[in-house]
């Protein structure tokens, strides 16, 4: 389940703060769904299932007896091939749940793709949206399963913090990302934060989320929204 994490406040100083109201605003931009383009041709990176990608790249280019042993140990835990031009991976999660999405859609990203992007993000063409960066970081560190295949999104502000909420109506579950670098899971049916980890002032955040969730739930019947095209 998702848990809270904290990024450096440097992100905020680099990207600045957008303007949002205290109330959910579903019509705000969804640019965060689109990854910048990789512009270096077909590039494969070998990413360990568990170990850090920087450690793997060091071991794979060194030739000492000790580094060779490290490389064999990493391979035993599972190594996957990530292609950054396609945002593809050879892991089972990507094959079963991610590959159907467009190349630059963040829903195409598994944790191994996220690790490779994070390690090489300076080589992508285009500015990084701070929300995209935060989501990738959460996926990479396995604090989040990533963006739902089907979701409703909203932005809102509580105190000095801004949030992006993604709601999966079929599951009744929210993935909540903060601008300063936090990831929180909220189960609307049990009215609780995943692993007991909530954002700053969790009761106030719930008071903002609940009317939005209830409004969506009231229109979601038999697996789809009332009035939606079949």
For residue range 14-48, list pLDDT tens digits in order.
333 344 457 776 545 788 999 999 988 877 888 87
Mean pLDDT of 199-222: 91
pLDDT of 112 > 70? The answer is yes
Cβ atoms within 10 Å, residue 227: 6
Read off the pLDDT of each residue in 101-122 and give the average, rounded to a whole number.
Answer: 93
Distance from C-alpha of 129 to C-alpha of 47, rounded to nearest angstrom:
24
pLDDT digits (tens, 9 = 90+) for 138-197: 999 888 988 999 999 999 999 999 999 999 988 999 999 999 999 999 999 999 999 888
Tracing tokens 């079949």 back to the chain, one arrives at: 230
211/201 Cα distance (integer angstroms): 17
In the chain, what are the domain boundaries? 10-31+146-222, 35-128
Percentage with pLDDT > 70 across the chain: 73
Task: Tell me the pTM.
Answer: 0.77
């Amino acid at each position: 389940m998702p848990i809270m994490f904290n990024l450096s406040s440097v992100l905020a100083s680099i990207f600045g703060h957008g303007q949002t109201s205290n109330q959910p605003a579903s019509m705000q931009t969804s640019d965060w769904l689109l990854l910048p383009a990789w512009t270096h041709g077909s590039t494969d990176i070998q990413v360990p299932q568990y170990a850090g990608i920087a450690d793997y790249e060091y071991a794979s280019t060194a030739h000492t007896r000790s580094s060779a042993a490290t490389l064999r140990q990493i391979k035993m835990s599972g190594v996957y091939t990530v292609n950054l031009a396609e945002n593809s991976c050879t892991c089972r999660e990507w094959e079963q749940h991610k590959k159907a999405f467009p190349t630059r859609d963040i829903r195409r990203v598994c944790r191994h793709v996220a690790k490779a992007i994070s390690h090489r993000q300076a080589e992508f063409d285009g500015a990084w949206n701070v929300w995209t960066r935060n989501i990738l970081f959460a996926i990479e560190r396995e604090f989040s399963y990533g963006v739902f295949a089907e979701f409703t999104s909203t932005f809102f502000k509580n105190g000095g913090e801004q949030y992006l909420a993604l709601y999966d109506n079929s599951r009744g579950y929210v993935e909540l990302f903060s601008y300063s670098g936090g990831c929180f899971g909220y189960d609307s049916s049990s009215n609780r934060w995943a692993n007991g980890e909530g954002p700053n002032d969790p009761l106030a955040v719930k008071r903002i989320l609940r009317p939005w969730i209830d409004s969506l739930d009231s229109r979601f019947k038999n697996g789809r929204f009332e009035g939606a095209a079949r």
